[in-house]
Structure 1
Amino acid sequence: MFSQQIISDLQQVLNASVADQGIPGAVVYLSTTDGIWSGASGVSNLKTNTPMKPRDRFRIGSISKLFLAVVILQLMEEDKIDLNDTLIDWLSEEICDFIPNSHKITIRQLLNHTSGLADYLNTDEFNTALETTNPNHLWTATEAITYAYDLEPLSPPGKKFHYSNPNYILLELIVEAVTENTLAREMCDRIHTPLGLIDTFTEMREEIPGGFVEGYADWDEDGETDNVTRRNDGVGLGDGGLISTAPDVARFIQGLFIEDKLLAAETLEKMLTWVEDREGGYYGLGISAWNSDWGEIWGHTGNTGGFLSTCWFLPNQDITVVVLTNTADTALPDDIAAGVLDVVLADEEED
């Protein structure tokens, strides 16, 4: 167990970060061989000033990609797919005819973002659609992928890393084609239920009892903070559709990397086969890696609709850190995670 001094120092780091970064609120979950600490700071709703709680739910954005990657790799373990299968092996001509290099792009290249496909998130067509779409509109992967149709490839398949959300929209479509089931159902059956993730849901695909915290951003760039929780930018899809809590995300990370409850050892080896991300780090199959002062770190970040998040796993120390925040403008969740590690690892060095 952590000492009271360490607990006090961790909470102080979180409180100071929320204040200094101008974040409405944030939560942290930390798990080490010495103990577990979860903390919250700030508010979950600026209008009501509701205090943030450690088990509050957030949109976790692209951390969802790691969940989807696990589903794909489980299907591979079941011999239902091969990582060298191409788009045309699983998707209809109506889709493949409009995706450049669909006869060459493999499932592995979708997973590690080496497909060369351009992202549609910043295109005028997609953003115009967002402005005119009803907030209650239930986006489908089939609809979302149309905004990637005929976009000029950024590189030939397998040649370079380009982080691109359509890769994971296509993976969602592949899961649906292979299983004849929704991705939300497969995630629930394969990950959430086995690990006991009682606070993890796919937005707009599942009922979320009690909802989740409010998310904020200066959406119209007028200098004022806006509540953007109800803005529908394609929520609930495979590239970033999950709602979760810091304890649930940490439980997922530990089930995957410490307890080996989701994938076989040889499959994890495939997941952790890296390509350079051209920013000094690496990317595997749904997961990032980078070197730090504390050694190698595996993890992922999330940025979506008023929320920024990060999850870190330090394999050499069996340490898991999850930081969830409810703003997309000023939050620096990686800095909060680093501050937390400074506290606990500096304490270990002193011991």
Structure 2
Amino acid sequence: MKHYLISLNVFCLLIASNPMKGQVENVPSAPAIIGDSLQTILDNAVQQHNITGGIMAVYSPGKWVWYGTTGSASRDSLIPITPKFNFRIASISKSFVAISLLQLQQNGVLNLNDTLGTWIRQTLVDSIPNGHSMTIRQLLNHSSGLGSNTGNVNCLPQTTNDLLMPITFKEALNCGLQLGPEFFPGTSFSYTNTNYTLAAEIVEIASGLDFTTYIQQNIIIPAGLTSTFVPTSNQLSGDYMRCYWNTYPYFSDWSIVHPSVYKGYAGLVSNAEDLFKYYEAINGLELFNQSTWDEMFTTMIPTGFNGYEYGLGIDNEDYGKFEVLGHHGEVGNSNYWYYYPELDAYLIYNMTNQGFFPMSLGLIENPVYNLLYATQDVTLLEVDINVRVDEMVLFPNPATDYFSIKLNEDINSAVSLQILDISGRKISGFDLRISSGMLEVTGLDFEPGIYQVICGLRETTYAVRLLIK
């Protein structure tokens, strides 16, 4: 769990406008060249960190979508995963709470700058340190100063049976209050689940609906989500990914919990396709208007962690080479729900094991970005290995230290060539020359594996998979 204390200055992330809405159900599958690379990225990440199983999905609106799985959904028995499997989305749930309150503000019911006393009974506000100075906005952007209920060791479940016991709103709140205030509201940042326990309570008070009913009517149905829900019992229905806390001496499955345990901050269940549709509904202004979208995405505060800002149920992570907008979270698993604004592309994954962050940056986020960046302006005319077509022939394939390319048009000095590894990283260290109407590539010293050869000539780009043995 993130936990940083710093002095606070408001930071504004400038985004020109929201991306255009797409329709993830109606785009074709990714070209095999891209799909093979993405599958290898997923397989490598799971294998390197002893993860039981994983789902990963990448979506380029208007172009293609890719879903991949690897491993098993459970440690106890081999359960092959399909992309339709549900999983607990953990702190991605916070965006549902934030959107609920933004909608209520847009409809004139409340204002995010209202203090807690505007909506919560005074005796309860009196029990909250600095409660009379605390606003709804400060709950959403974690600048309230409250301690985290999940950071109180006296409140943590001692056995998996404890997860089946209900917890009341007051009990969850008190677990955070017992830790005392960390700072005066609005002066610093500390990621605190207690904030969203309180925020969900305000949704219920202001709307007159229980939280589950509110998001069903105002987010899930309008966004067309068919596999997203708040569980109503200890059991998850259908096929689902398990949640393994690996901080214990054994891998405890925390996927079966009482629905009150994660209320507000981590309670929802969804799947990859629904999470794409949810983000598209946000960016397509199906859930609120442009002004509200701007408020959600352009008011971020610094957190004390380099390149990481937090806003209203959503964060901005700037890695220098690229940045992403979205949220991640863990409830015994590891979940990622982010948008690459530069590339207009989405990345989602679920891993059955807790603790995959921050290793994921080098294993998934960076390689996926590299691949998307390298192929964003390429029209891929795919050529299967060892299959000749009229447009292009690459031989020998598999290759060792050289290969040649013959195109069905004159090759001249304007030809361009890129070689990408399976993660989309551009490879250098080869010689290139034109001879007898062919492109000859020599001096290869690559590791064995699958590579992508992208050849550009005039207005056409060709791509082929190359095996190095």
Worse overlay, 288-297 or 189-198: 288-297
- Kept in 2, the 8 Å contact 1:58–1:213? The answer is yes
| Structure 1 segment 8-157 matched on structure 2, within 5 A | 8-33=36-61, 34-127=63-156, 131=159, 134-157=162-185
Letter in 1 for 2:205: A
For 1:75-110, what per-residue CA distance to the aligned partner results, in whole angstroms no more than 9, with x for missing partners?
001110011111111112342121111111001111
Q: CA deviation at 1:13?
A: 1.0
Q: CA deviation at 1:317?
A: 2.3
Partner of 2:451: none
Q: CA deviation at 1:125?
A: 2.3
- Kept in 2, the 8 Å contact 1:32–1:318? The answer is yes
CA distance in structure 2 between the partners assigned to 1:317 and 1:226 by the alignment: 38
Worse overlay, 230-239 or 268-277: 230-239
SS at match of 2:255: coil
Letter in 1 for 2:113: N
- Kept in 2, the 8 Å contact 1:109–1:158? The answer is yes
Worse overlay, 202-211 or 163-172: 202-211
Worse overlay, 318-327 or 91-100: 91-100
CA distance in structure 1 between the partners assigned to 2:160 and 2:236 by the alignment: 25
2:283 is aligned with 1:254: no
SS at match of 1:82: coil
Worse overlay, 28-37 or 157-166: 28-37
CA distance in structure 2 between the partners assigned to 1:319 and 1:225 by the alignment: 34
Identical-pair percentage:
28
For normalisation by structure 1, the TM-score amounts to 0.91
CA distance in structure 1 between the partners assigned to 2:348 and 2:155 by the alignment: 31
- Kept in 2, the 8 Å contact 1:130–1:232? The answer is no
Partner of 2:196: 168
Worse overlay, 59-68 or 200-209: 200-209
CA distance in structure 2 between the partners assigned to 1:40 and 1:187 by the alignment: 29
SS at match of 1:103: helix
Partner of 1:216: 244
SS at match of 1:115: coil
2:288 is aligned with 1:263: yes
Worse overlay, 238-247 or 287-296: 287-296
Q: CA deviation at 1:243?
A: 0.8
Letter in 2 for 1:230: I
SS at match of 1:121: helix
Q: CA deviation at 1:53?
A: 1.3
Worse overlay, 263-272 or 55-64: 263-272
SS at match of 2:222: helix
SS at match of 1:69: helix
SS at match of 1:201: coil
Q: Does the C-alpha gap of structure 1 residues 269 and 206 become closer, same or farther in structure 2, counting only changes over 3 Å?
A: farther
Partner of 2:301: 275
For 1:159-179, what per-residue CA distance to the aligned partner results, in whole angstroms no more than 9, with x for missing partners?
111111111000011011112
- Kept in 2, the 8 Å contact 1:216–1:326? The answer is yes
Partner of 1:299: 326
Partner of 2:214: 186
Q: Does the C-alpha gap of structure 1 residues 218 and 209 become closer, same or farther in structure 2, counting only changes over 3 Å?
A: closer
Q: CA deviation at 1:343?
A: 2.0
- Kept in 2, the 8 Å contact 1:25–1:40? The answer is yes
Partner of 2:415: none
Which protein has the larger Cα radius of gyration, Structure 1 or Structure 2? 2
- Kept in 2, the 8 Å contact 1:213–1:326? The answer is yes
CA distance in structure 2 between the partners assigned to 1:177 and 1:188 by the alignment: 16
2:269 is aligned with 1:243: yes
Q: Does the C-alpha gap of structure 1 residues 151 and 226 become closer, same or farther in structure 2, counting only changes over 3 Å?
A: closer
Q: Does the C-alpha gap of structure 1 residues 140 and 184 become closer, same or farther in structure 2, counting only changes over 3 Å?
A: farther
Q: CA deviation at 1:182?
A: 1.2
2:364 is aligned with 1:336: yes
Q: CA deviation at 1:275?
A: 0.6
For normalisation by structure 2, the TM-score amounts to 0.69
For 1:263-288, what per-residue CA distance to the aligned partner results, in whole angstroms no more than 9, with x for missing partners?
21111221121110110211111111
Q: CA deviation at 1:204?
A: 3.3
CA distance in structure 2 between the partners assigned to 1:230 and 1:209 by the alignment: 10
Q: Does the C-alpha gap of structure 1 residues 41 and 326 become closer, same or farther in structure 2, counting only changes over 3 Å?
A: same
Q: CA deviation at 1:325?
A: 1.0
Worse overlay, 116-125 or 200-209: 200-209
Worse overlay, 340-349 or 38-47: 340-349
Worse overlay, 116-125 or 53-62: 116-125
Structure 2: segments with no counterpart, 5+ residues: 1-27, 378-417, 419-460, 462-469
Which has a greater percent of helix?
Answer: 1
Partner of 1:230: 256
Partner of 2:311: 284
Q: CA deviation at 1:139?
A: 2.8
SS at match of 2:232: coil
Q: Does the C-alpha gap of structure 1 residues 101 and 80 become closer, same or farther in structure 2, counting only changes over 3 Å?
A: same
Q: CA deviation at 1:232?
A: 5.6
Partner of 1:310: 336
CA distance in structure 1 between the partners assigned to 2:251 and 2:178 by the alignment: 36
Q: Does the C-alpha gap of structure 1 residues 206 and 172 become closer, same or farther in structure 2, counting only changes over 3 Å?
A: farther
- Kept in 2, the 8 Å contact 1:24–1:43? The answer is yes
CA distance in structure 2 between the partners assigned to 1:260 and 1:234 by the alignment: 30
Q: CA deviation at 1:131?
A: 4.7
CA distance in structure 1 between the partners assigned to 2:53 and 2:72 by the alignment: 5
